[in-house]
């Protein structure tokens, strides 16, 4: 974001919570709306009106859909089409215009000028949320929200406005009207928030430094060990970065009285690619399933059509992440793997011991991360060659440096990305060892203080999913 993360955590958040808690129940959604707009405008002052326009058009479309007779198919459908096209147009203009213009110029030899519009933060998230409202209203899954303040509060809710999780209206409809905030919920929210902050600042930022070093190297000269260590570092960086933000959003939601859906469930413990996508960015996978894959026909129209639907859905999932051929290929790569599992290898997965299945899945995911994070297809090819040892270098001084300097953080991330800590808590609970209850406040305080110290002293603090 444009503003300092430290400024937000130390000033804005406590102020917002204080104003929110002392506000009457009837004004709490208004406070959410105002604070959400201020939060977004602080980081994106020019584009806050894009978000407002998107939400307002969907609100009006929803009111018309709800007020129309069920037999008035044309009117209802026209409103839905306007809503969907408007949201997709916003994404097209701000996120894909450079990609489209560049492609046209390259193919046809034209010289159309690229406007190079900056990408509004979180546009991929709030347009999907807003669009899901009108689609579900058209389907009759939800009731219309007549109160524009409540609707705008849903769209602009600051905990998850810029990087998710994607909260569809049906998941939060009742909570907008009635929610409670108790000490237990507050305590859970604070712990979840601090846990996410620690993931982001202490783990993602530190392990990400290794990937930054490897990414800047010449891929055709990388040793096999360096290449694998580099992409493993990125795998941990993006997991702890994004799941950390999701934890912070869910924790803040609890502090405000909301229950946001979970977005991660130890994805690197998956035993298949299908299982991985049930655990990684769960709200996005669910969105594409409910609003694209199933409307295309899902698996109801035969093998060939199911494979086509899966490939289209996953290719567009890749395109959602960014306007480049690499993202499209990344999505298609996972689509092809899921198709293979569904029709060929799926019945054998249960026969494979879990540990080898997890390792194989993790390796396949790592190859996907290469496509995701490198800039061009040729860069990806060069990196694949290094991972396969085709550069003719197994290990060198660079890989030794990486092991010595980043070995500990890689091991910590490897353990932290699994359910080991959760299992350990249950194990000690069965032994009736309650030291965790006593130690928990000190652990949370320690994580908070360490995270703030890193934020003050470290200039490397990217939020990877802000660019999507």
Q: Which residues are catalytic?
A: 321
Nearest-angstrom CA–CA distance, 254 and 350: 37
DSSP 228-269: HHHHHHHHHHHHHHHHHHHHHHHHHHHHHT--PPP--S-GGG
Torsion, CA 89, CA 90, CA 92, CA 97, rounded to 10 = 120
CB 282 within 8 A of CB 261: yes
Nearest-angstrom CA–CA distance, 426 and 439: 15
Give the CA count within 13 Å in the CB-facing half-sphere of 17: 19
**Is 149 exposed, middle or buried (CB count within 10 Å of its CB: 0-12, 13-18, 19+)?**
middle
The position carrying tokens 């490397």 is 460
**Is 184 exposed, middle or buried (CB count within 10 Å of its CB: 0-12, 13-18, 19+)?**
exposed
The position carrying tokens 């934020």 is 455
Nearest-angstrom CA–CA distance, 165 and 261: 7
Q: Token pair of 152, please?
A: 């705008």
- What values do phi and psi take at 349, rounded to 5? -60, -40
Q: Where are the beta strands (DSSP E) in 1-101?
A: none
Contacts 24+ apart (CB under 8 A), 57-63: 57/82, 57/83, 57/86, 58/83, 58/86, 58/87, 58/130, 58/131, 58/133, 58/134, 58/155, 59/145, 59/148, 59/151, 59/152, 61/134, 62/133, 62/134, 62/137, 62/144, 62/145, 62/151, 63/144, 63/146
Nearest-angstrom CA–CA distance, 326 and 101: 17
Q: Token pair of 201, please?
A: 């600042």
Q: Which of 244, 285, 197 is nearest to 417 (CA)?
A: 244
The number of residues making up the chain comes to 468
**Is 362 exposed, middle or buried (CB count within 10 Å of its CB: 0-12, 13-18, 19+)?**
middle
Nearest-angstrom CA–CA distance, 249 and 251: 5
């Amino acid at each position: 974001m444009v503003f300092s993360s430290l400024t937000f955590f130390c000033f804005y958040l406590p102020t917002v919570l204080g104003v929110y808690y002392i506000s009457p129940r009837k004004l709490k959604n208004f406070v959410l709306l105002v604070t959400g707009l201020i939060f977004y405008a602080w980081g994106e002052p020019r584009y806050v009106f894009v978000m407002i326009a998107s939400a307002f058009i969907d609100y009006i479309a929803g009111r018309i859909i709800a007020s129309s007779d069920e037999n008035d198919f044309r009117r209802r459908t026209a409103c839905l089409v306007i809503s969907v096209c408007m949201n997709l147009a916003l994404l097209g203009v701000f996120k894909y215009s450079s990609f489209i213009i560049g492609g046209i110029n390259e193919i046809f030899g034209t010289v159309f000028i690229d406007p190079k519009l900056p990408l509004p933060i979180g546009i991929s998230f709030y347009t999907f949320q807003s669009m899901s409202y009108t689609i579900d209203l058209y389907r009759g899954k939800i009731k219309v929200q007549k109160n524009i303040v409540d609707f705008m509060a849903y769209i602009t809710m600051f905990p998850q406005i810029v990087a998710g999780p994607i909260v569809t209206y049906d998941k939060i409809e009742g909570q907008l009207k009635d929610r409670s905030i108790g000490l237990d919920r507050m305590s859970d929210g604070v712990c979840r928030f601090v846990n996410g902050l620690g993931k982001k600042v202490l783990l993602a930022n530190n392990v990400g430094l290794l990937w930054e070093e490897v990414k800047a190297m010449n891929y055709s000269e990388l040793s096999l060990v360096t290449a694998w260590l580099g992409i493993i570092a990125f795998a941990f960086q993006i997991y702890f970065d994004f799941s950390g933000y999701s934890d912070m959003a869910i924790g803040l939601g609890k502090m405000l009285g909301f229950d946001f859906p979970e977005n991660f469930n130890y994805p690197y413990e998956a035993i298949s690619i299908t299982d991985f996508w049930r655990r990684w960015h769960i709200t996005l996978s669910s969105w594409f399933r409910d609003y694209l894959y199933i409307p295309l026909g899902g698996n109801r129209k035969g093998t060939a059509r199911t494979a086509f639907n899966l490939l289209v859905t996953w290719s567009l999932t890749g395109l959602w992440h960014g306007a480049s051929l690499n993202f499209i290929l990344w999505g298609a790569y996972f689509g092809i793997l899921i198709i293979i599992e569904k029709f060929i290898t799926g019945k054998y997965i249960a026969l494979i011991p879990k540990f080898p299945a997890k390792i194989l899945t993790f390796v396949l995911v790592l190859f996907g991360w290469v496509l995701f994070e490198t800039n061009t297809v040729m860069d990806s090819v060069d990196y694949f060659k290094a991972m396969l040892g085709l550069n003719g270098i197994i290990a060198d001084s660079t890989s030794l440096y990486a092991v010595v300097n980043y070995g500990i953080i890689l091991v910590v991330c490897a353990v932290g990305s699994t359910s080991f800590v959760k299992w350990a808590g249950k194990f000690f609970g069965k032994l009736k060892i309650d030291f965790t209850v006593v130690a928990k406040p000190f652990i949370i305080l320690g994580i908070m203080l360490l995270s703030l110290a890193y934020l003050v002293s470290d200039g490397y603090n990217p939020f990877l999913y802000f660019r999507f």
